[in-house]
């Protein structure tokens, strides 16, 4: 498979800079996030729940990939860029040191990916042109599939039926549903509602995290069969304001850890319990991982221009989530579908609840 253009050389330059700064000759990339990013979105999994089936050794003289004999033919024909050297191992080979896979590593100081986790995240934080195009297209697909499915749903549809249709819609469009959540009116208290046989009832939430080309789109949408109650309307408006506080604050160079106090203050400011932020993770940078990294106290990263984010403030019966890209004009939502109703929040179109 051919490289996707100018992105890969820039990624390689970035990793080599990291190695130079940290005194290493090579780094062994082994996580699904890093391997897929470095290989321009190559599908390096078999099981969605398993580790990647390939590792990449990056060094001054080139890029080398190791995989098992059972995966080599597919990866070569369909996934790998042309400019990497492939090494095959027997499928039954036991884990071993890098120098047993890569002869070149015997004379190198090879650093583990974990030792360079933060600088490697920084190297992939700003999306390159090819990545941006792929991500925009994927995010539109995820939003469109949610529109398609929730526009057909009824109060009698079950959560599993909705999840099945979401999965089918994503797979038809070449995406992998790595997270599918759905909660009907009976289960809205759960922040991560795995689908059950329960009917949707008068109100429901659906969540997809869809992966294609290594990138992951994160989107939440709500549907309601009938008008909102006053309590629902207040919660929906309030949670959009919590998100708006975060979106307004994003700027290149901002320490990512500084976003958490903004969220902590936003909940009581907009009518929610002050401890609400402790009941569900709040999101963070996005891209080749669902969150890269998840926002936690003390996270060492900084905000980058042209970086993707997916914030997901939530409260009982309320949540908002889109994948956005931080550009020169501020955050721009990527997971949009013109058919979905929106509400204007501080100059941005944000997803409203679809009323049926």
> Sign of torsion, CA 297 298 302 306?
negative
Structure tokens at 50: 């398993």
- Per the rule left: phi > 0, alpha: psi between -120 and 50, beta: everything else, 310 is beta
pLDDT of residue 95: 75
Return d(Cα 203, Cα 232) in angstroms, integer. 10
Structure tokens at 94: 């036991």
Our CA angle for 345, 351, 354, nearest 5°, is 130
Return d(Cα 157, Cα 264) in angstroms, integer. 36
Per-residue pLDDT 10s for the chain (356 aa) are 334 567 999 999 999 999 999 999 999 999 999 999 999 999 999 999 999 999 999 999 999 999 999 999 999 999 999 999 999 999 998 878 888 889 889 999 999 999 999 999 999 999 999 999 999 999 999 999 999 999 999 999 999 999 999 999 999 999 999 999 999 999 999 999 999 999 999 999 999 999 999 999 999 999 999 999 999 999 999 999 999 999 999 999 999 999 999 999 999 999 999 999 999 999 999 999 999 999 999 999 999 999 999 999 999 999 999 999 999 999 999 999 999 999 999 999 999 999 99
| CA 279 and chain centroid, separation | 20
- Specify the DSSP class assigned to residue 276: G
Exposure of 34 in the CB half-sphere (CA atoms within 13 A): 25
Q: In sequence order, which ranges of the chain are alpha helices (DSSP H)?
A: 7-22, 32-38, 69-74, 98-101, 117-125, 129-152, 159-172, 230-249, 259-269
Query: How many beta carbons lie within 10 A of that of residue 114, not counting itself?
Result: 10
Return d(Cα 301, Cα 305) in angstroms, integer. 13
pLDDT of residue 3: 41
Contact 99, 106 (CB under 8 A): yes
- Residue 205 φ/ψ, nearest 5 degrees: -120, 140
Q: Collapsing DSSP states into helix, strand and coil, what is residue 107?
A: helix
Is 218 exposed, middle or buried (CB count within 10 Å of its CB: 0-12, 13-18, 19+)?
buried
Give counts: helices (H), strands (E), the chain: 9, 17
Beta carbons within 8 Å of 349's beta carbon, 6+ residues apart: 333, 336, 342, 343
Return d(Cα 224, Cα 188) in angstroms, integer. 12
Q: Collapsing DSSP states into helix, strand and coil, what is residue 291?
A: coil
Where do we find the tokens 């995290």? Answer: 209
Question: Model's pTM, two decimal places?
Answer: 0.97
């Amino acid at each position: 498979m051919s490289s996707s253009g100018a992105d890969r050389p820039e990624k390689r330059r970035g990793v080599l800079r990291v190695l130079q700064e940290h005194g290493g000759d090579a780094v062994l990339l082994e996580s699904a996030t890093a391997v897929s990013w470095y290989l321009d979105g190559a599908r390096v999994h078999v099981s969605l729940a398993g580790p990647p089936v390939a590792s990449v050794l990056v060094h001054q003289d080139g890029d080398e990939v190791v995989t098992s004999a059972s995966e080599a033919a597919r990866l070569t024909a369909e996934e790998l860029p042309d400019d990497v050297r492939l090494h095959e191992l027997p499928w039954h080979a036991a884990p071993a040191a890098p120098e047993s896979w890569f002869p070149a590593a015997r004379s190198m100081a090879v650093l583990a990916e974990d030792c360079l986790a933060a600088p490697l995240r920084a190297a992939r934080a700003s999306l390159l042109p090819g990545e941006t195009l792929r991500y925009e297209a994927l995010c539109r697909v995820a939003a469109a599939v949610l529109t398609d499915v929730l526009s057909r749903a009824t109060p009698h549809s079950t959560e599993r039926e909705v999840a099945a249709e979401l999965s089918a819609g994503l797979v038809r469009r070449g995406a992998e549903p790595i997270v599918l959540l759905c909660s009907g009116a009976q289960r809205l208290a759960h922040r991560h509602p795995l689908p059950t046989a329960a009917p949707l009832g008068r109100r429901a939430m659906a969540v997809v995290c869809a992966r294609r080309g290594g990138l992951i789109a994160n989107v939440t949408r709500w549907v309601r069969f009938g008008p909102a109650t006053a309590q629902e309307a207040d919660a929906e408006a309030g949670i959009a304001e919590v998100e708006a506080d975060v979106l307004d604050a994003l700027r290149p160079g901002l320490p990512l850890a500084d976003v958490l106090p903004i969220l902590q203050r936003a909940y009581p400011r907009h009518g929610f319990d002050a401890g609400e932020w402790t009941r569900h993770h709040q999101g963070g940078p996005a891209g080749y991982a669902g969150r890269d990294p998840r926002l936690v106290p003390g996270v060492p990263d900084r905000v980058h221009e042209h970086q993707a984010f997916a914030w997901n403030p939530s409260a009982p019966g309320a949540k908002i989530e889109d994948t956005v890209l931080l550009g020169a004009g501020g955050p721009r939502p990527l997971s949009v579908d013109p058919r979905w109703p929106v509400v204007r929040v501080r100059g941005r179109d944000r997803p409203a609840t679809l009323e049926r």
